[in-house]
Amino acid sequence: MFDKVNILLAEDDPHLGFVVQEVLAQKGYNVSLCIDGQAALSKFIQGKFQICLIDVMMPVMDGFTLVEKIRKINMHVPIIFLTAKGFQEDKIQGFRAGADDYLVKPFSMEELALRIQVFLRRNMKTSNESELKEIQAIGIYRFDPINFELILNEKKIRLTKKEGALLLMLMNRPGELIKREVLLEKIWGNDDYFAGRSMDVYISRLRKYLKEDPKIELVNHHGMGFLLQIKA
């Protein structure tokens, strides 16, 4: 039912991390296990994940901080905290950081699997990410896909329809190389020479629009495609 679902698991307990990874792998999920918050953030930036499972108490970077940083990159990916910190104030802090759900250790693996399925079912209704209408965060900017506006503080930059579509495709797959022909077919409707030159111009414009945030980089893999990278 849920093919090619990638799950980010941030858990510093090697035994629990291994058990969760193995159980979810048996259910057909691809699970990337990281043992500290910084490693998990780097993995998230580099890949594309449909759900994140985050421990709170981790070395290098705690789970609350990790979730806050993930939310600056992606406002929509479901995040579930897996933690021994079950006090009410801890749960409130977790939700304020950007989590969608909270499981207190020890928890049932079957319950975890069912909660994952609930979030994946919800996301299937809006699986075409290019059709998302909510304002999305990108570094220090926000992007309004309805009005094609890139927002920085009170400043608004109006994008063309193609600029907006191009930015949205790259935003929704951060750290992932998207092939030139995929972008051209999706946005221009063909991948001929003139469409390719047009896209290169639009990429240059987007770089100028995003230059106020040095952590945002539009990377060109010559002859292959582009990726949007947001540095930690």
Last residue of a domain, one of 90, 107, 127: 127
Listed range (65-69, 132-136, 141-145, 183-187) with the worst mean pLDDT:
132-136
Could you give phi then psi for residue 152, rounded to 5 degrees? Answer: -130, 110
Specify whether 115 is located in the same domain as 148. Answer: no
Q: Look at residues 39, 42, 41, 20 and name the one whose alpha carbon lies nearest to residue 29.
A: 20
User: Alpha-carbon dihedral of residues 128, 29, 116, 92, nearest 10 degrees?
Assistant: -100
Residue 186 CA to residue 166 CA, distance in Å, equals: 9
Task: Over range 58-80, report the average pLDDT.
Answer: 89
Q: Which residue in the block uniquely carries the two structure tokens 């006090």? A: 87
Q: What is the mean pLDDT of residues 27-50?
A: 92
Q: Which of 98-102, 113-117, 132-136 has the lowest mean pLDDT?
A: 132-136
Contact predicate 77/119, CB 8 Å: no
**Structural domain span for residue 204:** 130-230
pLDDT for the residue 124: 62
Whether 1 is in a domain gets the answer no
Q: Which of 67, 99, 127 is the last residue of a domain?
A: 127
Q: What is the share, in percent, of the chain residues with pLDDT greater than 90? A: 53
pTM of the predicted model, to two decimals? 0.59
Is residue 41's pLDDT more than 50? yes
Q: Which of 172, 206, 169 is nearest to 184 (CA)?
A: 169
Q: Which among 209, 207, 188, 210 has a CA at the least distance from the CA of 199? A: 188
Q: Which two tokens stand for residue 173?
A: 């797959």
CATH of the domain at 66: 3.40.50.2300
pLDDT at res. 130:
44
Are 226 and 183 spatial neighbours (Cβ–Cβ below 8 Å)? Answer: yes
Sign of the torsion formed by the C-alpha atoms of 164, 165, 166 and 171 = positive
At 112, list the tokens.
Answer: 């975890």
Same-domain check for residues 109 and 186: no
Q: Select the more confidently predicted residue: 199 or 135.
A: 199
Of the pLDDT bands very low, low, confident and very high (cuts 50, 70, 90), residue 187 is confident
Give me the phi and psi of 137, to 5 degrees please.
Answer: -85, 140
The predicted pLDDT at position 3 comes to 52
Mean pLDDT of all residues belonging to the chain: 87
Question: Dihedral sign, CA of 11, 216, 138, 5?
Answer: negative
Whether residue 120 is found in the same domain as residue 156:
no
